[in-house]
Amino acid sequence: MAQANTLEEAKQKLSQKDFAAAHAIYLSLANQNDAKACYNLGLMYHDGDGVKQNMDEAVKWYTKSAELNYKEAQYMLASLVFRREIHSIPYERAAQYYQQAAEQGHVKSQLNLGMLYFSGDVIPQDLAASFKWLSLAASNNNSEAQGYMANIYMQGIGVEKDTVKAAMWLMIATQNEDKHLANRHSKMLNYTLAQLTPEQVASATQLAAKCKNQQLKAC
């Protein structure tokens, strides 16, 4: 509890713009191998909050946090590598960070790992693994993954082609609270529905309702 209070105290110092005090707390805890403190210290150097912006120092602390199995740090490092903002970590290692974070339930890592397995550019293509991780991200309500699941069923990529199932996922995606892909998913849904019979549309609607009632699990 003392450690949790100390992390909370550091958070309060940040909210008060007392960056020096927050840095001192995080540094002390990071040197005691506190994974979250390491990550937050990395954020301070990444953003230049109260310290001189220093990406090398940020990566140092992110890496320590990631090696302590903190999923946010694993995701951050992998994202920085694939956005080509850092070059000191190989793509293969970044993919491993996505894998580690995905296994801990980090949804965006599940999405990105699924896409890596789909493309086969960095790690060997594995459509079964791609389906597994994209399906998991979709069931964790990631709208982008839901759109990819629709595309997989629409084209029958690694699974039996199922236009009704594709429509189901698009119905769910268009109702997702994350609206940044809403226009794209709506166009995809309209295109898909135009290919279905009224009975198939009704079936897709029923499947979508059932899936949502199951909280997107086992859809």
Structure confidence by residue, pLDDT tens digits, 54-97: 999 999 999 999 999 999 999 999 999 999 999 999 999 999 99
The verdict on residue 61 lying in a domain is no
What local confidence, expressed as pLDDT, does residue 47 receive?
94
What local confidence, expressed as pLDDT, does residue 162 receive?
97
Reading the block at residue 114, the tokens are: 């699924």
Amino acid at site 88: S
Has residue 149 got a pLDDT over 70? yes
The verdict on residue 183 lying in a domain is yes
Mean pLDDT of the chain: 95
The verdict on residue 57 lying in a domain is no
The verdict on residue 65 lying in a domain is no
Has residue 4 got a pLDDT over 90? no
Say what the pTM is: 0.92
Burial of 11 (0-12, 13-18, 19+ CB in 10 A): middle
What region, left, alpha or beta, does residue 216 occupy, with left being phi > 0 and alpha being psi -120 to 50 degrees?
A: left
What local confidence, expressed as pLDDT, does residue 134 receive?
98
Asked whether the CA dihedral 186, 189, 194, 197 is positive or negative, the reply is negative
Number of domains into which the chain is organized:
1
The verdict on residue 212 lying in a domain is yes
Q: Which residues contact 144 (CB under 8 A, 6 or more apart)?
A: 111, 137, 181
pLDDT in tens, 150-182: 999 999 999 999 999 999 999 999 999 888 899
The verdict on residue 204 lying in a domain is yes
Per DSSP, the residues of the chain read -HHHHHHHHHHHHHHTT-HHHHHHHHHHHHTTT-HHHHHHHHHHHHHTSSS---HHHHHHHHHHHHHTT-HHHHHHHHHHHHTTS--SS-HHHHHHHHHHHHHTT-HHHHHHHHHHHHH-SSS---HHHHHHHHHHHHHTT-HHHHHHHHHHHHHTSSS---HHHHHHHHHHHHT-S--TTHHHHHHHHHHHHTTS-HHHHHHHHHHHHHHHHTTT---
The verdict on residue 209 lying in a domain is yes
Largest CA distance in the chain: 65
What local confidence, expressed as pLDDT, does residue 1 receive?
39
Reading the block at residue 37, the tokens are: 């403190």
Domain span including residue 197: 142-219
Q: Tell me how far apart the alpha carbons of residues 141 and 166 are, in angstroms, rounded to a whole number.
A: 16
The verdict on residue 170 lying in a domain is yes
